[in-house]
Amino acid sequence: MKYLDQLNRVLQLNEPPKRIVSLVPSQTELLVDLGLEKQIVGVTKFCVHPSSLRKTKTIVGGTKQINIKKIKSLQPDIILCNKEENTKEMIKELESVAPIHISDVNTIEDCLELIKIYGEIFDKHNAASRWIDAIKTEREDFLSLLTLTKQIKVAYFIWKTPWMVVASQTFINTMINEAGFKNVFEEEKRYPEIELDHPKLKEADCIFLSSEPYPFKEKDIEEFKKHYQRKKVVIVDGEMFSWYGSRMCKSYQYFKNQFIE
């Protein structure tokens, strides 16, 4: 059968893949939650959910660098990638190994579409439908509470040296909006590099320091406080803002617990 990935590339698969290599942590978690853990043969070192997975599966590298020989030796039926997480060079190298599915997730709709596609490819239609319904329910429940809150302007940092923030055309920005906040860098694109005296930071009511990909710590809060003494600076769980798929159910619970008074 023929399938389209989220870049509209055609995949030809004769049957549901039985040997899966996943190079995207959030997609690995989704596979497990769809009941496909046994079919997973290779993962990245960043595939940390569930925590036992890296002990039972072959680690084939990271999201930017891979061990192509290891992947070939696993004889995968399909390799799961992501436009943002993985490089063009990696994907080109992997094309001779197995069919590649590339996701491109920037919106809630993209996320739900990906779950549906996985349900079709791996013959997990019912499980995929249950997760889609669960995410929609959690989302509706959370959004119903936002009518009682005032929108707060935030700046969301993902990296240090250089300082990098989240802007538009990203899934994180979508989740910032979902959580009820206004991103002060929303008029810019992707992940711009900035200085700490950037005028947009003066507009922010709150500064979010993400726990990933750069692991901001309490000491980083003190550094920001030197520049912005009166602003609230907090470390937020980066997985809840950046991991799409089944993780989104937990994201809305996290938003409710952290941001709804």
pLDDT tens-digit series, residues 69-123: 999 999 999 999 999 999 999 999 999 999 999 999 999 999 999 999 999 999 9
pTM over 0.85: yes
pLDDT tens digits, 206-220: 999 999 999 999 889
The pLDDT of residue 149: 60
Q: How far apart are CA 206 and CA 180, in angstroms?
A: 13
Report the C-alpha gap between 245 and 29 in whole angstroms. Answer: 8
Q: Does 67 score more than 80 pLDDT?
A: yes
The ranges assigned to domains in the chain are 2-106, 146-259
What CATH fold (topology level) applies to the domain 2-106? Rossmann fold (3.40.50)
How confident is the model over 20-35, as pLDDT tens digits?
999 999 999 999 999 9
Q: Give Cβ neighbours of residue 146 (< 8 Å, ≥ 6 apart).
A: 180, 260
Model confidence pLDDT, tens digit, residues 143-178:
988 875 668 999 999 999 999 999 999 999 999 999
| pLDDT tens-place string over residues 119-141 | 999 999 999 999 999 999 999 99
Fold annotation for 146-259: Rossmann fold (3.40.50)
Q: Are 93 and 23 in contact (CB under 8 A)?
A: no
How remote is the C-alpha of 207 from its chain's centroid?
20
